Structure formats: structure tokens, C-alpha cells
Amino acid sequence: MTVLDTVPSAALLLAVGVLFAAGVYLLLERSLTRVLLGFVLVGNGVNLAILVAGGRAGTPPITRADAGAEPMSDPLAQAMILTSIVITLALVAFVLAMAYRSWQLHGHDEVQDDLEDTRIAQLADRDAPSYADSDAIDPRVTLDEEAATVRDEVALPEPAPGRRPGTGTRGGGDT
Amino acid sequence: MNLWSVQTLVPLPVLVPLFAAGLALALHRHARAQRVISVVALSVVVAAAAGLVVAAREAPVVIDVGGWAAPVGVNLVADPLTALMLLVSGVVLLCVLLYSMAQGIADGDGRKAPAVQGTEDIRRILEAQDPDADEARRRDVLPVAIFHPTFLILAAGVADTFLAGDLFNLYVGFEILLAASYVLLTLGGTVERIRAGSVYVVVALVSSLVFLLAVGLTYAATGTVNMAQLAERLPDVDPGIRLGIQALLLLAFGIKAAIFPLSAWLPDSYPTAPAPVTAVFAGLLTKVGVYAILRTQTLLFPRNEILEVVLLVLALATMLVGILGAVAQDDVKRLLSFTLVSHIGYMIFGVALATTASTAAAIFYVVHHITVQTALFLVVGLVERRTGTTSLERLGGLATLAPGLAILFFVPAMNLAGVPPLSGFLGKVGLLEAGVLDGSALAWVLVTGSVITSLLTLYAVIRAWNKAFWQPRPDEQELPEETGLPWGMVGPTAALVAVSVALTAVAGPLYDYAEHAARVVMGDAIYVDAVFPDGAPRGTGESDEVTTEEGGP
């Protein structure tokens, strides 16, 4: 059994690098079409990398050595690439449809913000707190009304008029 | 191969749904036929999986697809872990399918099915985007003939992922289920779903690319993608290269499983889908990622201290960040999505400890979590159906309005939080025990984190329970006219809740089975021997048409 020459071609490696770099750049864009192009580029880069992984042509696998004297490239790597190309094709078709749908709905195909992001940005814009402060909400029954409904031997004296529960010093009036 | 041997069962969970999907698509005009086909196909899957659970107990069942023996040919392997996952996912898929048929996503419930074609439809949909027409938008624009075929393809993809005996087949399985999930998530192409779908699809595409690259690198390093052969060869690979491959695989599966820094896509995308779709995604898709992590980390790679520490830290972060997110939510669906992320942390905790006990606990936890999480999402679907909202601010008084629904929510909610007699408690105890046995400082931190997460989960679900079911109904709330809940929806939900409770009753045997599965997964030899029964020499393939020449690098 001969040891295979597994040193890959520099041109292929360079191509993989360029495809990845350009693809990642495009993937980071906001528009779905560009993201899609990025996906296609990186996908091709990965396929090329698998081709490199197959190594150089050598003895035919599985079949008998006397089947042909010609060296043969690794069929498994090519089978995997073929499969992934088919899968990529299908996904590209789907994302294209989705981008088109997005354009139909919005007139553009930009990936939109997360619901939470939108909400937080909205609140920040209004300079409002991000949660309801239950102390600040006027309850249906004031503390005094509530106190009046029970019999308490050591009940507090009548309060100063106009004082509402929850607006005391605890809420941070001293800052 | 004998047709009546147990090996025949192995490809069925993939083949039957795929074939049924084609048939259902061909019969897209006949809603009744589609229903029958889907139910029969998934029932066959459940039956086959049940058979495999019994058969795989003895030894993993292996089938060489296409007549070529591994490692040359593609093989499907059903070891106890795979069989167990197949059974649970089959049951969950069947329940969700029945639920969705009653809900009427599948056939449009007698409504005209707008297949989103032609300007007329688009104009109508655009009109429906009017914020006042919220409900119309949600219900009307559902295309439909495609639901059943897509759902079946999802089932086939999930099964293929579990059964895959080589890395590339695992990739293909993932792609099948992801492609189906893209379609299901964007059903109808409404504004919200396209928004959520864009993020989901792009994230999933990137994770697939990372996975594919990792497969390519594995092939470059070892000259094979067969898992059994990888288990033999990877230990000999240079540690640096091995770490790189392992980290890449972990990254790819981490995105799919929604482990903390890679989890942001999940709580945003899942809740926009129709209730049954969300339920099945929440139950199965992330767990498929966890399964892939479990399989690759334990079977393929020798133990790696660095990655174990990284995984433990990530598990802790996933638990805490996820549950804190859940506590802050006011929408039940989003709340549950965050608890989903959080509880992925438990499973990763079990995987990261990398002992037989912890792996067994993780497997048990996966089984528990699939049923409970799916059941909860189905119940929330019922709540939405009953009241027209899932906002905790607008819900209230459901305990008097629909007592049965309250029970259906309460039981799995307590189960999720890990209240004692239920299976969630048993799974957590198993994990904590494994953590304590490990004894390292980090493991103790994780044990503490798990307990805190459990308590916070209890807080989150009790808050949802109090607001939606216990507190008086807000005065302004108006109930939709259609108030009855169809039995077709309640039945499958109740069945799933019953299954999750039954997991407690059969916890002993189930835990034994999980331990057995863990031993098989951890002990590479059993798996490898099952795939190479004659102890094939390393690096050569054997097939029916045997060659005497040595092939491969």
C-alpha cells in the first residue's frame, strides 16, 4: 500500500480562504439577499474544503487494483460535496422565496429586530422603565380603606390627608 | 438479510414518514386521506421504535443500508439511546399531529385555504396585516395542504438524526429536519413569521455550514466519517487537531441545542409559530442538538478536560441566563421558550460531567423534558384558543373558567420545576447526585446553580399560574365567542400530560434503561463491536462483493 500524497494544492486552499472571507462579510449584512449570497459563498468554500480533504488522486478504493491503472480521486469526498450542493440548492431556493416574501410585505428584505429589542429600544426612546413598578400603581383599595375593614386594637391614628400608599420614602424619594 | 429479523425495524422510522410525506403531498386535495396517512405513518414509527427499545436492550441493532458493510457503506445504528429517543419523539410527534388536526391548522378548519398565490391573495393578506385584524391574520392565512407532508418530513429527519451511524448522515438528517422546520415556522408567510423566520433560518444555515465544515475536517484528519471507525481513529489524531474538530462540532450543535451564548435566536422565533409547531420544535429540535452533542462527545472523542470545563461553565450560564429571561417575561409562550433554553443547561451539565451516572441522568432528563415541554406548549395553545391571548397581563380567572385546563397546566408546570414526586425531580436528583459524586469545585457550583435554577423555574411557572389561572379575571377582558375546546385538542394534550406523569411511575425501569443506554454510549467498545461484528481490521471496508485489496488512506 502506497502512502498517499496528502499535501493539498495551495490554490484550492487560497480559494477556500477567499470564499470564506467574502462569505462571512456578506453573512453579516442586514439584507436577506446578501446573507443568502454569503451563505452560497461559504457553502462553496466548505465544499471546496471537503474536496481538499479528499486528498490527491491515488489507488482506486473498493474496486480491484487491476480495474484500471489510472489514479482515481476520492469518490467519497465528491459524493459528500454532491449531497451538500443539492441541500444548499434547496435551502437557497427557500431563502430566496422568503426574501421575496419579505419584500412583498415590507418593500425590503432586511432582517428585522427581535421583538424584545424593539420593545426595549422603544422604552429607551421614551425614557420609560422597562417594568411596571407595582408600588407606583394606584391600587383599587388604599391601605387606609383596607385598614378600616379590620378590627385592630392598636390601629394607627388618622393619617395626614392626601397621603397615598406606596409614595412613602421607601420608593427612593431621598435620591 | 432476513426480512423478519429485528433489523428490518431500523430504517422504518425514516422510510415510512418519508414515503407517507410523498403520498400525502400527492393527495393534497384529499384532506381526509392526508390525515389517515399521517396518523398511520407516525403510529408505525411509534410501534417500530417500541420494538427497537426492546431489541436494542440486548445489543445495538445495526443495518447496512444499500448492502455495503460499514465503514464503506452507510449504516443505521439503533443503540438503546437511539431507540429511547425514537420512542419518545414518536409519541410526541403523534400527539402533536392529532392536536394540530383538531386545531385545524392542517385543513384550515373548513376555511378557504389561501395558498398565498396570486395578487388577490396578497392584497387580502396585506389588508389582514392591519393591527386590528390580529386574529384574522393569525388564523386565516394558513396554507395547508403542505402541513402534513412537512410534518412527516420533520419526523423522518428527526429519526434519521437519531439513527445515523456516520457523521455525514447525521448532517443530512439535520438538514432534513431543519428544512422542514423552516417551512413549518414560516407557514402562511405572515409578517411576524417572516420576521422570526429570517433570524431562525439564517442562524440554522450558519450552524449547518459549521457542521459541514467539521465533517470535512474530520474526514481530512481521519479518512472516514463512520462513527464507529472514528471512535477507533480519533484518539490517535493529534490532540490539537482533535480539539479543533471537537470544538467545531460543539459549536454547530450548540447553536442547534441553544446553549447560552448561542441561544438568543430561540425565544424570539419559536413563539410566533402555530401552537403545535412551537410545541414540537420546543420538544424535539433542541433535544436533537443535545443528542448530537451527547453522541459525538462521548462516542467519538476521548475525554477532554478543557472542553468539559468549558461545557460546565456554559451549562451554568445557560441555566441561569435562560431562567432569568423566563422570570422577566409576560407572554407565556416566551416564558416557556426561556425555560426551554434554561433546562437545556441541565442536560449539558449531565453531558459535561462525562460519567456514566451523569450521562444516564442527562438521558433521563431529555426524555422527561421532551414530554413536559411539549405538553406545556400544547396547553398554552389551548389557553390561547380559549381566551385569544397568551399575555399574562390580560389573562386571568382561568381556574374557574376552565378547571380542566388549569389541571393540565399545573401538572406539567410542577413537573418542569421539579416538584418531588414527578419525573423532573427524579431527573434533577440524578444530575445533582452525579455532580456531587464528581466532587470538583466547579461541579459543586453547578449543583448550586441547578438548585437555584430549579427554584427560579418554580417561581416563573407559579407566577404564570397565579396570573393566568388564579387571579381574578381582568374586567376588560373579552372572551372570543368560540369558547368550547375540541376534544381532539384536549385529548392529545391530556395524553401527553399523562405520559409525563407516567414517567414517574415507570421511573425505576426507565432509569435503568437510561443507565444501560449511558453505559453503551460511554463504552465505545459495545457500539464499535455492533457495527463491526467480525472485528474488521482498521481502515479497510468489507462488503458482500469482497475485495482483497486494501483501500483507504
Give the best-scoring range by mean pLDDT among A52-61, B147-156, B530-539.
B147-156
Residue A41 lies in a domain: yes
Provide the grid cell at B503.
Answer: 414517567
Residue of B166, B190, B200, B209 to mutate, interface with A, max A Cβ within 10 Å = B209
Per residue in B411-470, pLDDT (tens digit) is 999 999 888 888 889 999 999 999 998 888 888 999 999 999 999 999 999 988 888 888
Look up residue B344 and give its amino acid: I
Q: How confident is the model over B511-528, as a mean pLDDT?
A: 85
Q: Is B268 on the interface with A (CB under 8 A)?
A: yes
Residue pair B380/B275 in contact by the 8 Å Cβ criterion: yes
The model's confidence at residue B373, banded by pLDDT at 50, 70 and 90, is very high
Residue A150 lies in a domain: no
Q: Which three-class secondary structure state does DSSP give residue B64?
A: strand
Residue A154 lies in a domain: no
Residue A56 lies in a domain: yes
Backbone φ and ψ for B397, nearest 5 degrees, come out as 65, 20
Residue pair B49/B80 in contact by the 8 Å Cβ criterion: no
Q: Check pLDDT > 50 for residue B545.
A: no
Residue A98 sits in which domain range? 10-112
Provide the grid cell at B203.
Answer: 442562524
Q: Is A114 on the interface with B (CB under 8 A)?
A: yes
Residue A103 lies in a domain: yes
Q: A34: domain CATH number?
A: 1.10.287.3510
| Percent residues over pLDDT 70 in chain A | 74
Q: Check pLDDT > 90 for residue B341.
A: yes
Residue whose C-alpha is closest to residue B198's, from A146, A27, A149: A27
Provide the grid cell at B256.
Answer: 442547534
Backbone φ and ψ for A105, nearest 5 degrees, come out as -80, -40
Q: Please give the Cα distance from A141 to A26 (Å, whole number).
A: 58
Q: Please give the Cα distance from A162 to A142 (Å, whole number).
A: 11
* Per-residue 3-state assignment (H helix, E strand, C coil) for B230-245: HHHHHHHCCHHHHHHH
* Per-window interface: B 193-252 vs A, CB < 8 A: 194-195, 197-199, 201-202, 205-206, 209, 212-213, 215-217, 219-220, 225
* Helices B441-465 and B403-417, packing angle to 10 deg: 170
* Per-window interface: A 58-77 vs B, CB < 8 A: 58-65, 76-77
Which ipTM value was assigned to this complex?
Answer: 0.83
Q: Please give the Cα distance from B202 to B200 (Å, whole number).
A: 6
Per residue in B466-480, pLDDT (tens digit) is 888 888 777 665 666
Average pLDDT of chain B is 83
Q: Is B324 on the interface with A (CB under 8 A)?
A: no
Average pLDDT of chain A is 78
Residue A171 lies in a domain: no
**Lowest-confidence pick of B181-190, B251-260, B373-382:** B181-190
Distance from CA of A130 to the nearest CA of B (A): 10
Residue A140 lies in a domain: no
- Cβ contact, residue pair B209, A42, below 8 Å: yes
Q: Is B328 on the interface with A (CB under 8 A)?
A: yes
Q: How confident is the model over A54-78, as a mean pLDDT?
A: 72
- Cβ contact, residue pair A115, B268, below 8 Å: yes
- Cβ contact, residue pair B179, A59, below 8 Å: no
Q: Is A32 on the interface with B (CB under 8 A)?
A: yes
Per residue in B206-238, pLDDT (tens digit) is 999 999 999 999 998 888 888 888 888 888 888
- Tally of domains in chain A: 1
Torsion of CA A120, A126, A127, A131, to 10 degrees: -50
Provide the grid cell at B97.
Answer: 399531529
Residue of B213, B241, B392 to mutate, interface with A, max A Cβ within 10 Å = B213
- Cβ contact, residue pair B553, A55, below 8 Å: yes
